[in-house]
């Protein structure tokens, strides 16, 4: 068994990787190299979360930058009660929400689209959303299933979207999502169910049979 | 479990997030409900589709861009902290050393300035003493106030007083306690000696008259007095004699027996309360330098007149309480 070797952060290097806690401590002490390692380690996960939340590659890049800049600025407040990855995820969700709100405001100013998701109360949204059937043009543009899935995610209101992304794409546990979004676990389950049903109906309409 | 409840919990059932009892009830329902089994299957396929979404690689430049901004933030934060608070471990000792340096410099400056500060008080005392003396001489014309002197004169006056005080200090430094009284009125004396030089005639009314009567030039007296600071102190006899040379009375007595006359005159001086300072042999006789109380001076002259013939008598008037310095030349006619 690889027992690891000591590194400059004073922690054992298990299987060739340094634990986040060591890098975080070093970064908190002003070691930018350690922070860069954290960036390299988590940027893909953060970027994909932002991408699935915003649905746009450029916005995902911007949000990812904002997430790490914010994390660096508030590094001193991180006490290690949760995992660094979870802390980063919560920042990413908040900043993705903000970016999504900007995108929606911009879209609302440019034109009122029939494809925009409706901001309704829990329970009413998924059925109404799926009732907005993609246009023929959109069908042609959806080259593959991947794009179809992303398009269906994009049609979800933010509060359903974030639960779906965190559970089915980021693979967080229910209790983690509950803590992160500060929701009751029952609410998480309910929102997740409705989001999944909405995506199912969307996919069935876009690509036919599942 | 009814059909609607079943639909609600399919998602959680799929994630194994239901209780054992719920799971058991749901499995019983699923066994007999094709619609629920289909719904569950579609949900599983939907989640599979979601999980099949490929992980997208972020732009290659993303890390560099993030770190560039992070470094920029770190630099600005560091510089602000360094300027304000952060380098206290460096700044505090530095400030302490600077404060100590200022204290040391301040002490030495004070030490070097202190004598000048004391000297600066001297002219004020001199001016006051001068005013008092002027008030005590009503016959003199209204004196010009030193304050009304031209600035240059005041400056030169002050400078001279300072020089005098410095000279005095140099002389008095090793002197005994007896000098204390003289030192106390030192600046006033210094000014008094300088007074005739810069001041108008009104100031010199009191001092110049007797000097002229003694046949001495003011300048000569001043020069000698200044060149012999020891006269203010308890100097030796030679110094006293040299000093009295300038104001000495002179009298020449022609006798027949210079040896006898010399001895008798020295005795007479002693009996008169005077002091024989020096006896020199001169051409055709002796020269005795002595001090005689003013009160006995007249009787002493009468004695000389009886002893022989007085010639070349020069006896300037001096104050009654001042001993008369006299040079008695004893000679004979061949």
pLDDT surpasses 90 at A13: no
Least Cα separation, residue B38 to chain A (angstroms): 11
Which residues of chain A make contact with B58, given a CB cutoff of 8 A? 43-44, 47, 60-61, 64
Is A143 in the B-facing interface, judged by CB distances under 8 Å?
no
Q: pLDDT averaged over chain A? A: 81
Of A43, A72, A210, the CB nearest to B58: A43
Q: For residue A168, give the DSSP letter.
A: I
Q: What distance lies between CA B62 and its chain's CA centroid?
A: 70
Residue B215 has φ and ψ, to the nearest 5°, of 75, 25
User: Are B272 and B292 spatial neighbours (Cβ–Cβ below 8 Å)?
Assistant: yes
Does A193 contact B70 at a Cβ distance shorter than 8 Å? no
Does A174 contact B53 at a Cβ distance shorter than 8 Å? no
What angle in degrees, to the nearest 10, is found between the helix axes of B218-227 and B186-194? Answer: 140
Does B66 contact A149 at a Cβ distance shorter than 8 Å? no
User: Are A23 and A9 spatial neighbours (Cβ–Cβ below 8 Å)?
Assistant: yes
Unique residue bearing structure tokens 């911007």 = A62
Dist CA B316 CA B314 (whole Å): 6
For residue B119, give Cα distances in angstroms to B128, B136, B165, B166: 15, 27, 8, 9
Least Cα separation, residue B47 to chain A (angstroms): 7
pLDDT surpasses 60 at A5: no
User: Are B74 and A34 spatial neighbours (Cβ–Cβ below 8 Å)?
Assistant: no
Span A152-180, mean pLDDT?
A: 94
* A105-116 residue pLDDT tens: 888 887 655 555
Which residues of chain B make contact with A193, given a CB cutoff of 8 A? 8-12
For residue B82, give Cα distances in angstroms to B79, B99, B219: 5, 21, 72
pLDDT the model gives residue B190: 37
Identify which has the larger pLDDT, A208 or B225: A208
Does B56 contact A48 at a Cβ distance shorter than 8 Å? yes
Does A61 contact B58 at a Cβ distance shorter than 8 Å? yes
Is A200 in the B-facing interface, judged by CB distances under 8 Å?
yes
pLDDT the model gives residue A19: 83
Dist CA A81 CA B83 (whole Å): 33
Confidence of residue A95 (pLDDT cuts 50, 70, 90): very high
- Those residues whose C-beta lies under 8 Å from the C-beta of residue A156, and which sit 6 or more positions away, are A117, A125, A129, A164, A195, A198, A199
Which residues of chain B make contact with A95, given a CB cutoff of 8 A? none
pLDDT the model gives residue B181: 42
Phi-psi region of A183 (alpha: psi -120 to 50; beta: other; left: phi over 0): beta
CB pairs under 8 A between A and B: 104
Dist CA B229 CA B226 (whole Å): 6
pLDDT the model gives residue B319: 67
pLDDT the model gives residue A209: 74
Of B47, B53, B70, the CB nearest to A196: B47
* pLDDT, block means (10 residues), chain B with 334 residues: 80 92 92 91 93 92 95 79 63 85 92 71 50 46 44 46 47 43 41 38 39 41 42 42 56 88 90 89 88 87 88 74 84 76
Q: Residue ranges of the alpha helices (H) in chain B?
A: 3-14, 20-32, 34-51, 62-84, 88-120, 122-135, 151-172, 179-184, 186-194, 201-213, 218-227, 237-245, 258-271, 294-307
pLDDT surpasses 80 at A104: yes
Least Cα separation, residue B70 to chain A (angstroms): 6
pLDDT surpasses 50 at A34: yes
Identify which has the larger pLDDT, B88 or A22: A22
Q: Identify the bridge partners of residue B255 per DSSP, sorted by sequence position.
A: B332
Dist CA B285 CA B255 (whole Å): 9
Of B17, B50, B63, the CB nearest to A40: B63
Residue B188 token pair: 């006033």
SS3 B194: helix
- Those residues whose C-beta lies under 8 Å from the C-beta of residue B151, and which sit 6 or more positions away, are none
Least Cα separation, residue B43 to chain A (angstroms): 7
Which residue of chain A has the CA closest to B52?
A146
Q: What's the whole-model pTM score?
A: 0.49
Best of B46, B51, B52, B75 to substitute, by most chain A Cβ atoms within 10 angstroms, is B46
pLDDT surpasses 90 at A206: no
Best of A29, A72, A186 to substitute, by most chain B Cβ atoms within 10 angstroms, is A72
Which residues of chain A make contact with B8, given a CB cutoff of 8 A? 190, 193
For chain A, the C-alpha Rg in angstroms (whole number) is 20
Q: Identify the bridge partners of residue A14 per DSSP, sorted by sequence position.
A: A17
Dist CA B140 CA B135 (whole Å): 9
Residue B101 token pair: 């340096």
pLDDT the model gives residue A82: 86
Dist CA B136 CA B165 (whole Å): 25
Does A193 contact B12 at a Cβ distance shorter than 8 Å? yes
Burial (CB count <10 Å: 0-12, 13-18, 19+), residue B52: exposed
pLDDT the model gives residue A129: 44
pLDDT the model gives residue B85: 59
In chain B the first and final C-alpha atoms are separated, in Å, by 173
């Amino acid at each position: 068994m690889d027992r690891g070797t000591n590194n400059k952060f004073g922690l054992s290097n298990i299987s060739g990787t340094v634990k986040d806690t060591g890098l975080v401590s070093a970064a908190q002490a002003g070691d930018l190299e350690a922070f860069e390692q954290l960036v390299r380690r988590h940027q893909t996960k953060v970027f994909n979360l932002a991408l699935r939340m915003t649905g746009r590659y450029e916005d995902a890049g911007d949000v990812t930058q904002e997430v790490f800049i914010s994390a660096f600025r508030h590094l001193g407040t991180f006490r290690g009660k949760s995992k660094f990855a979870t802390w980063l995820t919560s920042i990413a969700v908040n900043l993705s929400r903000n970016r999504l709100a900007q995108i929606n405001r911009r879209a609302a100013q440019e034109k009122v689209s029939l494809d925009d998701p409706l901001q309704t109360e829990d329970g009413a949204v998924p059925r109404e959303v799926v009732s907005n059937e993609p246009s023929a043009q959109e069908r042609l543009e959806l080259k593959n299933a991947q794009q179809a899935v992303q398009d269906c995610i994009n049609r979800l209101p933010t509060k359903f979207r974030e639960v779906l992304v965190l559970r089915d794409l980021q693979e967080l546990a229910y209790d983690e999502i509950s803590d992160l979004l500060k929701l009751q676990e029952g609410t998480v389950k309910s929102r997740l169910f409705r989001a999944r049903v909405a995506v199912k109906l969307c996919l069935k309409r876009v690509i036919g049979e599942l | 479990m009814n059909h609607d409840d079943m639909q609600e919990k399919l998602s959680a059932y799929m994630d194994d997030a239901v209780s054992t009892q719920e799971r058991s009830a749901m499995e019983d329902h699923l066994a007999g409900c094709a619609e629920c089994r289909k719904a569950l299957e579609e949900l599983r396929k939907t989640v599979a589709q979601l999980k099949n979404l490929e992980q997208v690689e972020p732009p290659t430049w993303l890390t560099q861009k993030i770190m560039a901004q992070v470094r920029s933030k770190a630099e600005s934060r560091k510089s602000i902290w360094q300027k304000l608070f952060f380098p206290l471990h460096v700044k505090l000792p530095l400030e302490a050393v600077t404060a100590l340096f200022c204290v040391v410099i301040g002490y030495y400056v004070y030490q070097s300035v202190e004598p000048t500060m004391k000297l600066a008080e001297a002219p004020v005392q001199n001016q006051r003493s001068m005013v008092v003396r002027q008030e005590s001489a009503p016959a003199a014309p209204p004196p010009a106030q030193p304050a009304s002197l031209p600035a240059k004169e005041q400056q030169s006056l002050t400078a001279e007083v300072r020089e005098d005080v410095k000279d005095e200090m140099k002389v008095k430094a090793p002197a005994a306690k007896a000098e204390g009284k003289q030192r106390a009125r030192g600046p006033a004396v210094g000014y008094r000696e300088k007074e005739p030089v810069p001041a108008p005639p009104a100031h010199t009314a009191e001092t110049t008259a007797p000097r002229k009567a003694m046949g001495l030039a003011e300048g000569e007296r001043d020069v000698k007095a200044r060149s012999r600071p020891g006269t203010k102190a308890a100097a030796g006899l030679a110094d006293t004699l040299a000093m009295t040379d300038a104001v000495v009375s002179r009298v020449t007595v022609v006798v027949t027996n210079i040896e006898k006359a010399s001895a008798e005159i020295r005795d007479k001086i002693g009996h008169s309360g005077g002091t024989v300072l020096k006896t020199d042999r001169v051409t055709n006789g002796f020269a005795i330098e002595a001090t005689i109380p003013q009160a006995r001076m007249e009787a002493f002259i009468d004695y000389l007149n009886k002893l022989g013939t007085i010639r070349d008598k020069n006896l300037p008037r001096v104050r009654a309480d001042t001993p008369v310095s006299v040079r008695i030349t004893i000679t004979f006619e061949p």
